[in-house]
Amino acid sequence: MQKSAFATKMFAVIILIVSVILSLFVLYTPSPSSSPQHFSSERALTYIKEISESPHSVFDADAHEDVRLYIKDTLTTMLGAANVREYNYPISSFSTETGEIRNLLGVIPGKSDTAIMIVGHYDSVPESYGAADDGYALGTMLEIADLYKDQQLENTIYFLFTDAEEMGMDGAAAVVEEKALMSKVGFVINVEARGVSGPAIMFETSPNNKKVIDFYRQANLPVSYSLATAIYQVMPNDTDFTLFRENGMNGVNFAVVEGIEHYHTSLDNYNELNASSIQHYGEQIVPLVDAFTRDAKYSDINYFDADEGSIFFTLLPNVFVSYTGTAANVLHFATLALLIAVTFLLLRGHYMDFRKAIRKLLLFVGIFLGAVLLSVGFAVLTAVIGGVMYFPTYVVVNGSEWTTLLFLLAITAGVLAIYTRLSNSLEKQRTFLFFGIAFQLSLAILTGFLMPGVSFLFFFPALLGIVSLAASIQKNKIMKYLAYATTSLICLLLIVPILKVFFLSLTVGCAPVLVAVLLIHLTVLIPVVRLLWNAGNDAPATATSNTAVADASAQNTDAM
């Protein structure tokens, strides 16, 4: 093997390792804090400890009332009795011992009546101690109330503690009818938990969220994907936020999703809580509350109204990318024009080989469908072995995170091996890369119209793939390495955390979706990784019996 070829392979390995390591930090959560000036998960935990002493569903009348009184007393001590309001309603869709729904509202008044409203529900489900769901909200809200209690504010803060969310959002349903109150709310932050650990993901926004996302950008360590909002809208799950959204309120919704086996079970208790996750709720929410309450521009109740939505994702900790749906469509078509131009150049110089590659394309389609089918079998088998019902979005089986990871790695390795066999010339490699780009760009254009929030997942691999494709005919080696390495890095930074969040929130049941998303992504990633791997062989090779070099000289007819 040539020296330069060996160095390139080492470079490729290092790039891949660094990319995977970096991608594991995208969902990073901050260290717990106990600082008196900043949001402190330690203090939030002291509130949650009291709240989660026993299950407090609407059917546990005494414990439920104890939690309500604890919150009411804590708020009264912090804010004064005049700033704690009760909203009780005799009507309900279920029978409780009190026959009432009782919401609580804490107020920190600002110069303007316009308010940012933080919402959490204080009821749990039966059996659950409600430590995370929704103790994380309650602890976070009380901690923020304590931080802001004596401050001179431009705008108002509302802390809304709703009742009977778990019964069908009855508390929130009553509140949205309080027109006098709701007409003063400019922004809603709902806090939820569908697990106990991992990042607090901003997983849902109001529609036409351009200004909402511009506002959310101010959060520290934002973790959010427009993909999540797009998918959540078509899922049957609901939280209090659904009602605020349906009533035209602007805002965002947060939840942790790791440790779903705790969700709505007795495992949702104080001992299982994660201080770093609580800190992450606070790190994101406090800057939003701060911006809203310090700047008079938010006194305009219609400030967050917009006519268009944004596409957004977290690339790295505190690197949050967002652009509007209109910009996305312009970018998609500009990239299509770029692809056409690059393809024309490559065809004119005979850098691609459609004739030979197109016959192999059907094989890849077959592999794709086969792998997705195999993953259905894998998911169902996991459910059978684990002794649980198969449900596409909920199969909780111990250890399935490792088997799923191995399964995804095995599929990746399999596709890579087949690809390597079939792409034995540089012309074929470029042609396969072209197919991957064309496929992903088509998906980006299509979703750009149908489900814009999803489009970035296909658009960035397509765009970077074109850059790599164009670089593959350059003489300048540094340019090639840079293009291939950047493409590999960004693709991995996008796909690894997204697959992880999919798995955490939808469990191994969604393995077919994971495999489909992964395979789509691999259509650009694998050809680019192969180009990077072989880039050291692009130099004119002297004849040897070494098969690797023989391969390389086959690739070299056009390279230099």
The span of 184-192, 203-211, 301-309, 317-325 binding Zn ion (CB under 5 A) equals: 184-192
The span of 185-193, 213-221, 419-427, 484-492 binding Zn ion (CB under 5 A) equals: 185-193
Are the C-beta atoms of residues 90 and 15 closer than 8 Å to each other?
no
The span of 9-17, 187-195, 493-501, 511-519 binding Zn ion (CB under 5 A) equals: 187-195
**Which residue's CB is nearer to Zn ion, number 134 or number 538?**
134
Query: What angle separates helix 3-24 from helix 477-506, to the nearest 10 degrees?
Result: 30
What three-state secondary structure class fits 309?
coil
Which positions ≥6 away from 204 have C-beta within 8 Å? Answer: 228, 229, 232, 233, 239, 241, 245, 252, 253
Residue count of the chain, please give it. 560
| Shortest separation between residue 121's beta carbon and Zn ion, angstroms | 6
Closest CA to 528 of 478, 441, 461: 461
Closest CA to 261 of 171, 453, 132, 407: 132
Query: Is 133 a residue that touches Zn ion (CB under 5 A)?
Result: yes
**Which residue's CB is nearer to Zn ion, number 141 or number 535?**
141
**Which residue's CB is nearer to Zn ion, number 79 or number 285?**
285
Q: How many of the chain's residues bind Zn ion (CB under 5 A)?
A: 3
Query: Is 170 a residue that touches Zn ion (CB under 5 A)?
Result: no
| Shortest separation between residue 193's beta carbon and Zn ion, angstroms | 6
In whole angstroms, give the CA distance from residue 470 to residue 491: 17
In whole angstroms, give the CA distance from residue 456 to residue 164: 37
**Which residue's CB is nearer to Zn ion, number 108 or number 169?**
169
Which positions ≥6 away from 303 have C-beta within 8 Å? Answer: 186, 211, 297
In whole angstroms, give the CA distance from residue 125 to residue 94: 14
**Which residue's CB is nearer to Zn ion, number 146 or number 192?**
192
| Shortest separation between residue 237's beta carbon and Zn ion, angstroms | 10
Q: 75-114 mask for Zn ion (x: CB under 5 A)? A: ----------------------------------------
Name residue 2's amino acid: Q
**Which residue's CB is nearer to Zn ion, number 192 or number 204?**
192
**Which residue's CB is nearer to Zn ion, number 303 or number 394?**
394
**Which residue's CB is nearer to Zn ion, number 143 or number 165?**
165
Number of residue whose CB is nearest Zn ion: 133
Are the C-beta atoms of residues 429 and 423 closer than 8 Å to each other?
yes
| Shortest separation between residue 125's beta carbon and Zn ion, angstroms | 8
DSSP 322-373: EEEHHHHHHHHHHHHHHHHHHHHHHHHTT---HHHHHHHHHHHHHHHHHHHH
Which one of residues 60, 123, 134, 258 is an interface residue with Zn ion (CB under 5 A)? 134
The span of 6-14, 46-54, 127-135, 229-237 binding Zn ion (CB under 5 A) equals: 127-135
Which residues here bind Zn ion, judged by CB under 5 A? 133-134, 192
